[in-house]
Structures are given as C-alpha cells and as structure tokens.
C-alpha cells in the first residue's frame, strides 16, 4: 500500500493490513502474467522485488501487487481472520465504483483505441475521468446523460433522486459531435494525444450554458471563473460510462495520491470509526489549523485532502502547498491521527453547491464528517459567507450520509492572544486580525513578512522562498 506518511516504509518489505492471515496450505503466491516474476505473501508480510507497490481492496478481499518489471497489477487473494474495525462511511449510493482497466482488458483497450474516433480532454475533464473511474464520484459510472444532467441542474439530484449538486459532463463542439454515434466507443486522450480512457457513448445532446451558470454558479458574470470556463466549452454534451486506461500524469505527488479504496483500507488499518475530511486549495494557515484541531478533538482521524488539480492562475502552486502541509503535520499534528493525501480534482468555484459536492466526495474516500468553512469554494463576492452552510438545509434528514461540521469566521484576537471565533471570543472586532488565503496572498504579493498569528514560521519560510524565487 502506498503510504501517505512523511516517512515511507522500506520499499522491499511492507506489512499487510492488520487482520490479514494466510489461507490454508501455506504462503499465497502469484506470478506476473508477462514476465512470470513471483510475488509472495508469507507470515503476514508481502515479499516482493524492490520498488513494487501493494494496494489492498478490502471490499473484494484481494490485494494487488504491481510487478516492478512490467508495471502490471497482479491480484492475490486476501483472507481476513476477522473484519477490519472501521467506521468508514458507506460510499454515496451504497457502492464504490471502479472503472479502472488492468491486465488483458487494459491491453485490449489500448489495441483498439487507434481505430476509434477520439476526443481530447482538458485538465478538468481528464481529472473528472480519473475520479469517476476510481470511485471518488460514486455512484457516477461516466459522464452524465441528459436526464441526470437536467435533474442535477434543476434540483441538485440525479434522475434517481440521489443527491448530487454538480454536473459532471464532457462537452464538444457541434461539428465534432456530428461525427460521433451513440452505441459506439470513443477514445479519450490528453492534449498530447496519449490515451487516457474510453467513453462508451450512449447520448449526444445539447445544453444551455447560461442556464447552467445561473443554477450552479448563481451568476452569469463572465468574470466568474466557472462561468468563463462554461463559455469556452463546446455546445454539445456526450454521455455514457467510461473506462480508465492510463492515469493522467500527476508528477511529484505520487506518494500522496491515494484512491478511495486505499484511504478506506488505511482507515480500517488504523481502526478509526469517525473520520473528518478537510478540503483546501490554499496553504494551511492558523485558522485552518484551529478548526481542524477542534474537529480532531471529537474524531478518531483527520483526512487533510488538498486539491492539486486545476485552480485559478493566481493560486499558490500545488507543489509549494504540499510542502507546507507536510511540514505542518510533521511539526504540529499527531501523525498517527492524520492522513495527508492529495485530491486530483479541479476547483469549480461553485460555492454552496461545491461544498456539498466536496462533502460527498470525501464520503467516498471514507469520511464520516466534513468541515465546511466560511465561504467554502467561493470566489470574489458571488456568495454570502454562510451560503455554503445553509445549502445543506435543502436536503431532507438522512439524505446525506456524511455529516457537515460548520465553522464560521475565525481570526486571531490580540486580547485573547489566540485564534478564536465569535462564538468563543468576547472582544470587539477591532481586536481581531483576519486569517485567510486572500490575506496571505496579499502579504506575499507585497513582499511582506507573514506574521506568526497568520501562519506557522516553517510555513512562512516555505512561502517566502517561493515568493522570492528561491
């Protein structure tokens, strides 16, 4: 299993999840179907060649070892003496979707892709393909058809009635759509022409971009990054299930890239019953630290899940932010109660709807609870500061299986000498110093020192080096 911990295990020997045992008859063994390399599990440990990777799927009761020579996943039955102790939330819709091709199916897809019509994916749709395939968008099996799309736009639910607030679609222009026929397969590639997956095309349909903007982003202002993105898309949508053939490249984040099945396995291994998720596209400041630790007082574990997909151009680069998260966890958090993993999705800046979207995604990663802060996923002044809290009231009790934890504005109070909120601080606003990503970026742009009440010194040093080009 890939480790999200700052210090990875030795590459030539990794332990199986707690509770694993041998089947009758001795060691379990598998061979790579290509090069016949043996991969063996014995005495509760996996023994394999250096740099092989182990993944564990506790739902199917199989472990998977990647052959270090051929890079092919080899399955090994995993027997459990007892079910793992875990409170991981049930996936949204009741089943964790998996549409990742491996082995012969992957080779077959590669072989016929050259003969198929092709559609090029941009950064957002490539990340959507990946997140559908690994189950982060469960219960979605592909890009939405018309009934689901229109239902999501109008009432934040799939056609089945299951809550889902954000349309997940693939757009092309009319001329490109005219060459495609429902009932056929389409190759999905990146801008360099490399194959990423297949779309089993079921529907080709028009859509109203202005209507989507008004419902999803609550504005048709072209200055809103989500509305601007919509305006640049094609006018026709393609719907149908997908299969992932190759993962989009996410260089530099391999150690921290965990699929939902993997975070669930880690939650089970650690025996957590309650898990709170935290999403951010900013470096962690003292306000983030405050609300995370407040939540951690009540929960067994914390998943810090920073977004490293496409964001606004003025955001701090993902690799810089990851360095900040790592040093903060190493110095200021209990490492046995925190998981750090990157989320390869794109920011949509859909405010309230995106808050619900982020909560459902973290449910699929195993979280029972999700932190919703002030103006979650907002941009500019398009949403009210608590709109992302109030939107959860639009769902019936029990509709959402993940529990939101709402936090209002937090700040540093000079009189208290600590981070606080209006619920805990009795002093006047004149004593408060705002703690926000916007404030942090403003100080960095001005070349100003980042005070300790805004962020930890170790984080400030990383950001200052980045801002000065060091």
Q: What CATH number does residue 235 fall under?
A: 3.10.400.10
Are residues 255 and 160 in contact, defined by beta-carbon separation less than 8 angstroms?
no
140 within a domain of the structure (yes/no): yes
How many domains does one find in the chain? Answer: 3
189 within a domain of the structure (yes/no): yes
Rounded Cα distance, 138 and 361, in Å: 8
β-pairing, 301-304 with 170-172? unpaired
Task: Report the C-alpha dihedral over residues 59, 63, 68, 73, rounded to 10 degrees.
Answer: -50
Q: Which helix (H) or strand (E) holds 195?
A: strand 195-200
What's 276's domain CATH number?
A: 3.40.50.620
Residues 26 and 138 in one domain: no
Residues 279 and 422 in one domain: yes
Residues 39 and 183 in one domain: no
pLDDT digits (tens, 9 = 90+) for 415-457: 999 999 999 999 999 999 988 877 888 888 888 889 999 999 9
Residues 182 and 155 in one domain: yes
SS3 content of the chain, % helix, strand, coil (to 5): 30, 20, 50
Residues 163 and 137 in one domain: yes
Domain C-terminal end among 213, 244, 275: 244
Residue 236 token pair:
């026709």
Q: Which helix (H) or strand (E) holds 262?
A: helix 260-270
pTM of the model: 0.82
87 within a domain of the structure (yes/no): no
Residue-level pLDDT at 67: 64
Are residues 444 and 463 in contact, defined by beta-carbon separation less than 8 angstroms?
yes
Residues of the chain with pLDDT below 50 are: 1-28, 41-62, 78-84
Residue-level pLDDT at 468: 84
Gap between the terminal Cα atoms of the chain: 34
97 within a domain of the structure (yes/no): no
Residues 273 and 399 in one domain: yes
**Backbone torsions φ then ψ of 292, nearest 5 degrees:** -65, -45
Rounded Cα distance, 291 and 221, in Å: 32
Residue-level pLDDT at 314: 54
Residues 68 and 176 in one domain: no
122 within a domain of the structure (yes/no): yes
Residue-level pLDDT at 73: 62
5 within a domain of the structure (yes/no): no
Residues 296 and 179 in one domain: no
Q: Which helix (H) or strand (E) holds 439?
A: helix 437-445
Residues 130 and 180 in one domain: yes
293 within a domain of the structure (yes/no): yes
The 8 Å CB, 24+ separation contacts for 26-30 are 28/76, 28/77, 29/76, 30/65, 30/74, 30/75, 30/76
Residue-level pLDDT at 355: 97
Residues 61 and 123 in one domain: no
The boundaries of the domain holding residue 424 are 254-467
pLDDT digits (tens, 9 = 90+) for 31-64: 666 666 665 543 333 333 333 344 444 444 445 5
Residues 459 and 326 in one domain: yes
Residues 220 and 272 in one domain: no
Residue-level pLDDT at 280: 84
94 within a domain of the structure (yes/no): no
Rounded Cα distance, 331 and 461, in Å: 14
Domain C-terminal end among 196, 215, 244: 244
């Amino acid at each position: 299993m890939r480790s999200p911990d700052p210090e990875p295990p030795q590459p030539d020997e990794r332990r199986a999840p707690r509770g694993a045992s041998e089947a009758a008859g001795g060691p379990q063994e598998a061979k790579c179907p290509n090069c016949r390399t043996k991969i063996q599990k014995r005495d509760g440990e996996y023994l394999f060649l250096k740099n092989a990777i182990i993944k564990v799927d506790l739902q199917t009761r199989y472990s998977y070892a990647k052959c270090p020579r051929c890079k092919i996943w080899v399955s090994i039955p995993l027997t459990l003496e007892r079910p793992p102790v875990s409170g991981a939330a049930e996936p949204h819709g009741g089943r964790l979707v998996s549409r990742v091709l491996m082995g012969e199916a992957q080779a077959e897809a590669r072989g016929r892709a050259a003969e198929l019509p092709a559609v090029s994916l941009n950064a957002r749709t490539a990340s959507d393909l990946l997140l559908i395939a690994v189950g982060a968008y469960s219960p979605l099996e592909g890009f939405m058809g018309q009934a689901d799309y229109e239902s999501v736009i109008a009432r934040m639910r799939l056609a089945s009635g299951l809550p889902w607030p954000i349309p997940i679609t693939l757009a092309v222009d009319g001329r490109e759509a005219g060459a495609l026929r429902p009932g056929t397969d389409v190759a999905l590639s990146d801008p360099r022409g490399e194959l990423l997956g297949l779309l089993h095309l079921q529907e080709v349909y028009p859509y109203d971009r202005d209507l989507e903007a008004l419902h999803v982003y609550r504005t048709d202002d072209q200055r809103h990054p989500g509305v601007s993105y919509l305006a640049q898309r094609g006018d026709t949508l393609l719907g149908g299930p997908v299969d992932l053939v190759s993962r989009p490249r996410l260089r530099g984040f391999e150690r921290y890239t965990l699929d939902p099945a993997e975070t669930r396995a880690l939650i089970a291994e650690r025996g957590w019953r309650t898990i709170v998720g935290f999403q951010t596209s900013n470096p962690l400041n003292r306000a983030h630290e405050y609300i995370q630790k407040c939540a951690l007082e009540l929960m067994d574990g914390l998943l810090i899940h920073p977004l490293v997909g496409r964001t606004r151009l003025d955001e701090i680069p993902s690799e810089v932010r990851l360095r900040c998260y790592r040093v903060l966890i190493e110095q200021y958090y209990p490492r046995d109660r925190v998981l750090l993993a990157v989320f390869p999705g794109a920011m949509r800046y859909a405010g309230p709807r995106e808050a619900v979207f982020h909560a459902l995604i973290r449910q699929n990663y195993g979280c029972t609870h999700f932190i919703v802060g002030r103006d979650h996923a907002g941009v500019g002044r398009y949403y009210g500061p608590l709109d992302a809290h109030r939107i959860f009231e639009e769902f019936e009790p029990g509709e959402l299986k993940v529990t939101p934890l709402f936090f209002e504005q937090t700040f540093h109070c000079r009189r208290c000498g600590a981070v606080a909120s209006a619920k805990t601080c009795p002093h006047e606003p004149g004593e408060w110093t705002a703690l926000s990503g916007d404030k942090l970026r403003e100080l960095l742009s001005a070349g100003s020192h980042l005070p300790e009440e805004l962020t930890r010194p170790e984080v400030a040093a990383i950001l200052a080096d980045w801002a000065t080009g060091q």
